[in-house]
């Protein structure tokens, strides 16, 4: 059965690995070029804080983008083109009536097909991940963005786990639906679905996020980079703006009149929602012509971009009241974040989730097969 | 070696057709004493029929004393039906062939020829000549 | 002689439709059994149940004395050729034999290779490039090479040209002559079944209408032609299967085990095809009569 499983995949496997070899050669050939570009574009950036060189470098190189994109979709491809047809094609072609009437149990047949396909998927995607990670390593080392979702999911272990899961999902879908095309569609959506759930809802909480308390700067309320101790490599999970007494003014770090945390009454009284009044009144004054300002008032007031509306306080006047007010109420910012040094534990945890899901699916498909024919 | 064929539309049971074909071969001298009949396997490989049909035919021939089955070896002819003089009747055969040609030229079809012959044969029987 | 297939009230239902119902038949060993009936009668269902590809909805089924399972011990004794003889298109003939050798403990590679050579098939050729007849021969080789006690063939020659059909049956009969294998062969082509079968099961409208050795069936049915007469007036020991009438003459096909002594009948033997057609017609008539009338239900 193992020989048969291999023989059925043989042609596709050879094609895929041929492509990977070609890709590897291409990457090896462009390696020196990358080093050169790194020295000329990136290194000089090291001195400057917000150097756009790295971003420009990454985005402009189409080859880089293609490789990264390939690794993003490779697991889904494995699921759709190796997993979905695994059993479904045998139903469609009727060959299940040939292979299930040989003297070997169906469980053994499915186990061999699942094992062979899983192995091939993991090795193929693994090689691709290896090449990509190696290729991007100087960029990653410089930009420290490995925890960023669009980087994290295309490095090291997780693509392999994704591939294993997508393959198992595809095989199970094919077994249930017995038709290749619907199984492919279901696999694609199922795979994307789980990826989203894990990336958005689970990954930020793989380990309890670290907590950092920093001062609140009303002029730059949402900005965290370089401010208050957070590093660019830290992945922020959530932020709160809190008063000295512990009352939460904002649950997402935004503080402003449009989201309601700052309230200006018609006579110019400024209130911090749920915390208290501010001393002084925000006087209405027209903004200097030509400048852009937001004017605002109480609830229902409109935001104008352009010349200040007469009779409504301007941003500068409002800040003159809010800044001392924030200090008065001891407003500070609490950030929950994941540090870069948790990259590898997260890789293992996320891989573990997808591998476990794959094993559950494999068990499910074996059980379903037994139930159908026992 | 004799080769069998099956006429599916003759209305005659398959096993009987085989019996008849063996008897005809014996009569015409195509099979001699000691000749081996085709094995069951050989027969069915050529004529796609049930092996039991062949076995039944061979059993009947054995019952008539014409053949004998030797287990593990084959089925062999033990007695012929041929009349040696039949082969010698060359002139009679020629006469008959000439008559048949004449009958065809006169426009008689197979059935009419057979009917004509049977009629004469029966009449001759009654008259006691044949 | 023990039964190779023993079915008791066997039934298989898909949704609301019964593909096979109340099927009770005991097929003895040592025969080439023809399973005949119109399309959709349940022949394929019965064979798929017998090989374990389907599970019964009702009733019991025993094949070679046991329930059909996918245990190696059981499948090694039963060979199966599915309808349209599926093969792996991209695998070669030799690959198929290798698959058979690896998955069947009772596989005989010499037999398999010998047959392939005898058939003139190129072992390296991909199954997708074979003709229909060659694919059918390959499928038969695979079923036979594991030296089974029972061969189940589901309409193996239905889509073959006459020459390929004849060649398939020749090879099949050779196998039967050589080994002690029982065969159950389904078809809707009577001409083929008449040649090779010595036992017949007639399946119409998902039910068994007739079953027995061909010789017995032919001996116990007669065609009677005589003066016009109501079928209900026929004696009890002559069961009318089919009847047709003109103004003055009646023709009956009857089932009887006793000799027909009434001199007013002309008695003829019945051919197998006519016999089967008569039973199929009878079943169709019964189905028409029991079909509910469409009407308003208050």
Indicate whether A196 and A282 sit together in one domain: no
Residue at A122 is within a domain: yes
pLDDT of residue C180: 83
Indicate whether A171 and A83 sit together in one domain: yes
For testing contact with chain B, the best of C156, C195, C217 (most B CBs within 10 A): C195
What would the pLDDT profile of A361-372 be if each residue is shown by its tens digit? Answer: 999 999 999 887
pLDDT for A186 beyond 90: yes
Would you give the end-to-end CA distance of chain C in angstroms? 56
**What's the mean pLDDT in B2-28?**
86
Residue at A177 is within a domain: yes
Indicate whether A45 and A125 sit together in one domain: yes
C49 in contact with chain B, both atoms CB, cutoff 8 A:
no
Distance between CA atoms of A286 and A293, rounded to whole angstroms?
10
Size of chain B, expressed as the number of residues it contains: 130
Do chain B and chain C touch with ≥3 beta carbon pairs under 8 Å? yes
pLDDT for A50 beyond 80: no
pLDDT of residue C38: 83
Chain C residues lying within 8 Å of A374, measured CB to CB = 55, 69
pLDDT for A289 beyond 50: no
pLDDT for C1 beyond 60: no
Task: Categorise residue C97: left if φ over 0, alpha if ψ from -120 to 50, beta otherwise.
Answer: alpha
Pairing of strands A332-338, C207-213: unpaired
Positive/negative CA dihedral, A287, A293, A297, A303 = positive
Domain stops at, among A305, A326, A347:
A326
Q: What is the pTM of this model?
A: 0.81
What would the pLDDT profile of A201-241 be if each residue is shown by its tens digit? Answer: 999 888 888 888 877 766 655 544 444 577 778 888 888 88
pLDDT of residue C269: 86
Closest CA to C208 of C290, C111, C123, C276: C276
In DSSP notation, C36-88 reads: E--TTSSHHHHHHHHHTSS--SEEEEEETTB-----HHHHTTEEEE-TT----
Indicate whether A14 and A127 sit together in one domain: yes
Token pair 């008559």 is found at B99
Chain C residues lying within 8 Å of A4, measured CB to CB = 99, 102-103
Please judge whether A103 and C75 are an interchain contact, meaning their C-beta atoms are less than 8 angstroms apart: yes
Q: φ, ψ for residue A92 (rounded to 5)? A: -65, -40
Please judge whether B48 and C197 are an interchain contact, meaning their C-beta atoms are less than 8 angstroms apart: no
pLDDT of residue A293: 38
Total domains in chain A come to 2
pLDDT for C235 beyond 50: yes
- Mean pLDDT over the full length of chain A: 80
Listed in sequence order, the residues at least 6 apart from B34 whose beta carbon sits closer than 8 Å to its beta carbon are: B76, B77
In DSSP notation, A70-88 reads: HHHHHHHHIIIIIIHHHHH
Indicate whether A148 and A19 sit together in one domain: yes
Indicate whether A48 and A186 sit together in one domain: yes
Indicate whether A41 and A168 sit together in one domain: yes
- Angle between helix axes A84-93 and A180-196 (nearest 10 degrees) is 160
Please judge whether C87 and A98 are an interchain contact, meaning their C-beta atoms are less than 8 angstroms apart: yes
What would the pLDDT profile of C267-285 be if each residue is shown by its tens digit? Answer: 888 888 899 999 988 888 8
Cα dist. C140→C4, C5, C216 in Å?
19, 20, 30
Residue of chain C minimizing CA distance to A370: C70
Distance between CA atoms of B4 and C174, rounded to whole angstroms?
15
Residues of C with a Cβ under 8 Å from any A Cβ are: 48, 51-53, 55, 69-73, 75-76, 78-80, 82, 84, 86-91, 95, 98-100, 102-106, 139, 142-143, 146
Q: Which two tokens stand for residue A89?
A: 């094609």
pLDDT of residue A301: 39
Q: Which two tokens stand for residue B105?
A: 């030229």
**What's the mean pLDDT in B20-29?**
87
Q: How confident is the model at residue C136 (pLDDT cuts 50, 70, 90)?
A: very high
pLDDT of residue C291: 64
With beta carbons less than 8 A apart as the criterion, state whether A264 and A257 touch: yes
Please judge whether C80 and A101 are an interchain contact, meaning their C-beta atoms are less than 8 angstroms apart: yes
Cα-Cα-Cα-Cα torsion A345, A347, A352, A354, nearest 10 degrees, comes to 150
Which strand ranges, in their side-by-side order, compose the sheet holding A276-281? A262-264, A269-272, A276-281
Chain A residues lying within 8 Å of C80, measured CB to CB = 97, 101
Q: Which two tokens stand for residue A203?
A: 């990954």
Indicate whether A184 and A299 sit together in one domain: no
Closest CA to A361 of A186, A230, A207: A186
Listed in sequence order, the residues at least 6 apart from A14 whose beta carbon sits closer than 8 Å to its beta carbon are: none
Please judge whether B50 and C176 are an interchain contact, meaning their C-beta atoms are less than 8 angstroms apart: yes
Cα radius of gyration rounded to whole Å, chain C: 22
Please judge whether B49 and C196 are an interchain contact, meaning their C-beta atoms are less than 8 angstroms apart: yes
Residue at A54 is within a domain: yes
Residue at A185 is within a domain: yes
What would the pLDDT profile of A25-44 be if each residue is shown by its tens digit? Answer: 888 887 777 777 767 766 66
Chain B residues lying within 8 Å of C196, measured CB to CB = 48-50
Indicate whether A88 and A184 sit together in one domain: yes
Cα dist. A43→A37, A57, B98 in Å?
9, 12, 116
Q: Is A66 exposed, middle or buried (0-12, 13-18, 19+ CB in 10 A)?
A: exposed
pLDDT of residue A288: 47
Cα dist. A74→A63, A64, A125 in Å?
16, 15, 7
pLDDT for A295 beyond 50: no
Please judge whether C195 and B50 are an interchain contact, meaning their C-beta atoms are less than 8 angstroms apart: yes
Indicate whether A36 and A181 sit together in one domain: yes
Q: φ, ψ for residue C291 (rounded to 5)? A: -70, 130
Of the listed ranges A52-61, A88-97, B88-97, C93-102, the least confidently predicted one is: A52-61
With beta carbons less than 8 A apart as the criterion, state whether A136 and A163 touch: no
- How many beta carbons lie within 10 A of that of residue C120, not counting itself? 8
Do chain A and chain B touch with ≥3 beta carbon pairs under 8 Å? no
A105 in contact with chain C, both atoms CB, cutoff 8 A:
yes
pLDDT of residue C207: 83
Residue A235, helix vs strand vs coil:
strand
A307 or B120, greater pLDDT? B120
Strand intervals (E) in C205-259: 207-213, 221-227, 239-245, 249-255
Residue of chain C minimizing CA distance to B52: C198
Q: Measure CB to CB from residue B51 to each of C169, C177, C271 and give the nearest one.
A: C177
Q: Is C208 exposed, middle or buried (0-12, 13-18, 19+ CB in 10 A)?
A: buried
Please judge whether C88 and A95 are an interchain contact, meaning their C-beta atoms are less than 8 angstroms apart: yes
Q: Measure CB to CB from residue C82 to each of A97, A105, A106 and give the nearest one.
A: A97
Please judge whether A97 and C80 are an interchain contact, meaning their C-beta atoms are less than 8 angstroms apart: yes
With beta carbons less than 8 A apart as the criterion, state whether C234 and C252 touch: yes
Name the DSSP class of A205.
G
pLDDT of residue C293: 57
Strand intervals (E) in chain A: 210-215, 235-242, 248-250, 262-264, 269-272, 276-281, 293-295, 304-306, 332-338
pLDDT for A317 beyond 90: no
**What's the mean pLDDT in A269-293?**
65
Listed in sequence order, the residues at least 6 apart from A60 whose beta carbon sits closer than 8 Å to its beta carbon are: none
Q: Measure CB to CB from residue B41 to each of C177, C195, C271 and give the nearest one.
A: C177
Residue at A240 is within a domain: no
Q: Which chains touch A (3 or more CB pairs under 8 A)?
A: C
Residue of chain A minimizing CA distance to C76: A103
Q: How confident is the model at residue A242 (pLDDT cuts 50, 70, 90)?
A: confident
Listed in sequence order, the residues at least 6 apart from B13 whose beta carbon sits closer than 8 Å to its beta carbon are: none
pLDDT for C79 beyond 90: yes
Residue C35, helix vs strand vs coil:
strand
Chain C residues lying within 8 Å of A100, measured CB to CB = 53, 70
Q: Is ipTM beyond 0.95? A: no
Token pair 């449009």 is found at A258
pLDDT of residue C48: 92
Of the listed ranges A106-110, B55-59, B70-74, C89-93, the least confidently predicted one is: B70-74
Name the DSSP class of A38.
I
With beta carbons less than 8 A apart as the criterion, state whether C146 and C115 touch: no
With beta carbons less than 8 A apart as the criterion, state whether A340 and A234 touch: yes
Domain residue extents for chain C: 3-211, 220-290
pLDDT of residue A364: 95
Chain A residues lying within 8 Å of C55, measured CB to CB = 372-374
H or E stretch at A139: helix A106-143
With beta carbons less than 8 A apart as the criterion, state whether B6 and B14 touch: yes
pLDDT of residue B71: 87
Q: Which CATH class is domain B14-77?
A: mainly alpha
Alpha carbon A260 to its chain centroid, in Å, reads 30
Alpha carbon of C183: minimum distance to chain B alpha carbons (Å): 11
Please judge whether B41 and C174 are an interchain contact, meaning their C-beta atoms are less than 8 angstroms apart: yes
Q: What are the residue ranges of CATH 1.10.10.10 in chain B?
A: 14-77
Alpha carbon of C164: minimum distance to chain B alpha carbons (Å): 12
Indicate whether A126 and A101 sit together in one domain: yes
pLDDT for C184 beyond 90: yes
With beta carbons less than 8 A apart as the criterion, state whether C35 and C203 touch: yes
Q: Is B108 exposed, middle or buried (0-12, 13-18, 19+ CB in 10 A)?
A: middle
Query: What number of CA atoms fall less than 13 Å from residue A161's CA on the CB side?
Result: 22
Query: CATH for C3-211?
Result: 3.40.50.300
pLDDT of residue B58: 93
Pairing of strands C239-245, C182-187: unpaired
Closest CA to A87 of A123, A57, A114: A114
Chain C residues lying within 8 Å of A105, measured CB to CB = 70-72
C170 in contact with chain B, both atoms CB, cutoff 8 A:
yes
Residue of chain A minimizing CA distance to C99: A4
Positive/negative CA dihedral, B109, B111, B115, B118 = positive
Residue at A149 is within a domain: yes
**What residues make up the domain containing A299?**
259-326
Name the DSSP class of A197.
I
Indicate whether A64 and A155 sit together in one domain: yes
Would you give the end-to-end CA distance of chain B in angstroms? 34
pLDDT of residue C116: 93
**What's the mean pLDDT in C158-181?**
91
Chain B residues lying within 8 Å of C271, measured CB to CB = 11
Under 8 Å CB pairs connecting chains B and C tally to: 44
Distance between CA atoms of A228 and A238, rounded to whole angstroms?
15
Chain C residues lying within 8 Å of A7, measured CB to CB = 91, 95, 99
pLDDT for C98 beyond 90: yes
Q: Measure CB to CB from residue C70 to each of A1, A97, A105 and give the nearest one.
A: A105
Task: Categorise residue A71: left if φ over 0, alpha if ψ from -120 to 50, beta otherwise.
Answer: alpha
Highest mean pLDDT among A158-167, A292-301, B57-66: A158-167
Residue of chain A minimizing CA distance to C47: A97
Please judge whether B8 and C178 are an interchain contact, meaning their C-beta atoms are less than 8 angstroms apart: no
CB contacts under 8 A, C 22-41 vs B, are 32
**What's the mean pLDDT in C282-295?**
71
Cα dist. A173→A85, A87, A193, A368, B49 in Å?
9, 9, 15, 11, 48
B117 or A164, greater pLDDT? A164
């Amino acid at each position: 059965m193992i020989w048969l499983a291999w023989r059925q995949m043989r042609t596709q496997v050879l094609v895929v690995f041929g492509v990977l070899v070609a890709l590897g050669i291409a990457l090896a050939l462009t390696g020196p070029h990358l080093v050169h570009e790194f020295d000329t574009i990136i290194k000089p950036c090291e001195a400057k804080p917000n150097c756009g060189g790295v971003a420009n470098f990454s985005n402009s190189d189409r080859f880089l983008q293609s490789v990264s994109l390939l690794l993003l979709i490779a697991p889904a491809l494995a699921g759709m083109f190796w997993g979905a047809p695994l059993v479904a094609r045998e139903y469609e072609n009727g060959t299940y009536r040939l292979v299930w009437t040989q003297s070997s149990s169906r469980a053994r047949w499915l186990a061999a097909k699942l094992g062979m396909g899983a192995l091939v998927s993991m090795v193929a995607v693994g090689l691709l991940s290896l090449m990509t990670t190696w290729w991007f390593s100087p960029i990653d080392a410089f930009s420290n963005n490995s925890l960023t979702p669009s980087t994290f999911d295309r490095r090291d272990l997780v693509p392999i786990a994704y591939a294993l899961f997508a393959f198992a999902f595809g095989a199970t879908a094919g077994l249930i639906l017995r038709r290749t095309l619907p199984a492919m569609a279901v696999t694609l959506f199922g795979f994307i679905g789980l990826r989203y759930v894990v990336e958005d809802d689970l990954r930020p909480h793989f380990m309890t996020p670290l907590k950092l308390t920093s001062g609140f700067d009303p002029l730059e309320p949402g900005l965290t980079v370089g401010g208050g101790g957070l590093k660019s490599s830290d992945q922020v999970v959530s932020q709160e703006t809190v008063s000295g007494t512990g009352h939460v003014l904002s649950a997402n770090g935004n503080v402003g009149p449009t989201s309601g945390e700052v309230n200006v009454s018609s006579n110019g009284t400024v209130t911090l929602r749920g915390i208290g009044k501010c001393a002084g009144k925000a006087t209405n004054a027209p903004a200097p012509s030509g400048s852009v300002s937001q004017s605002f008032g109480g609830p229902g007031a409109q935001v104008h971009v352009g010349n200040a509306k007469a009779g409504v306080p301007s941003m500068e006047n409002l800040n003159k009241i809010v800044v001392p007010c924030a200090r008065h109420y001891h407003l500070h910012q609490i950030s929950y974040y994941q540090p870069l040094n948790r990259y590898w534990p997260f890789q293992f945890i996320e891989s573990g989730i997808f591998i476990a899901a794959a094993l559950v699916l494999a068990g499910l498909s074996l059980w379903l097969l037994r139930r159908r024919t026992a | 070696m004799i080769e069998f064929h099956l006429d599916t539309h003759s209305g005659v049971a398959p096993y009987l057709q085989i019996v008849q074909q063996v008897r005809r071969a014996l009569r015409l001298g195509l099979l001699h004493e000691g000749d081996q009949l085709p094995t069951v396997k050989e027969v069915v490989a050529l004529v796609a029929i049930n092996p039991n049909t062949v076995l039944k035919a061979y059993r009947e021939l054995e019952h008539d004393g014409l053949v004998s089955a030797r287990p593990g070896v084959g089925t062999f002819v033990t007695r012929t039906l041929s009349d040696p003089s039949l082969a010698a009747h060359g002139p009679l055969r020629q006469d008959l062939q000439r008559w048949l040609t004449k009958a065809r030229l006169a426009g008689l079809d197979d059935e009419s020829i057979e009917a004509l012959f049977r009629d004469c044969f029966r009449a001759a029987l009654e008259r006691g000549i044949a | 002689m023990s039964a190779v297939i023993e079915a008791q009230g066997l039934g298989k239902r898909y949704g609301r439709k019964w593909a096979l119902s109340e099927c009770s038949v005991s097929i003895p060993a040592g025969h080439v059994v023809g399973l005949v009936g119109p399309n959709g009668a349940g022949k394929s269902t019965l064979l798929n149940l017998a090989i374990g590809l389907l599970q019964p909805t009702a009733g019991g089924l025993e094949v070679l004395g046991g329930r059909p399972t996918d245990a190696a011990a059981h499948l090694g004794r039963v060979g199966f050729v599915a309808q349209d003889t599926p093969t792996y298109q991209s695998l070669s003939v030799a690959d198929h034999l290798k698959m058979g050798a690896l998955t069947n403990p009772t596989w005989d590679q010499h037999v398999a290779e010998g047959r392939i050579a005898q058939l003139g098939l190129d072992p390296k050729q991909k199954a997708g490039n074979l003709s229909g007849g060659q694919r059918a021969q390959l499928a038969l080789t695979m079923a036979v090479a594991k030296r089974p006690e029972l061969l189940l063939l589901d309409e193996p020659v239905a889509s073959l040209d006459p020459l390929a059909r004849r060649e398939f049956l020749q090879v099949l009969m050779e196998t039967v002559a050589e080994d002690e294998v029982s065969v159950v062969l389904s078809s809707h082509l009577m001409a083929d079944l008449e040649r090779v079968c010595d036992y017949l099961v007639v399946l119409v409208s998902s039910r068994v209408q007739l079953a027995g050795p061909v010789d017995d069936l032919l001996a116990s049915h007669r065609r009677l032609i005589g003066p016009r007469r109501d079928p209900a007036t026929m004696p009890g020991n002559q069961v009318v299967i089919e009847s047709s009438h003109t103004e003055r003459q009646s023709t009956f096909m009857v089932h009887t085990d006793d000799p027909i002594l009434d001199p007013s009948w002309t008695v003829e033997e019945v051919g197998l095809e006519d016999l089967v057609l008569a039973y199929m017609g009878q079943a169709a008539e019964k189905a028409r009569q029991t079909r509910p009338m469409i009407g308003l239900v208050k």
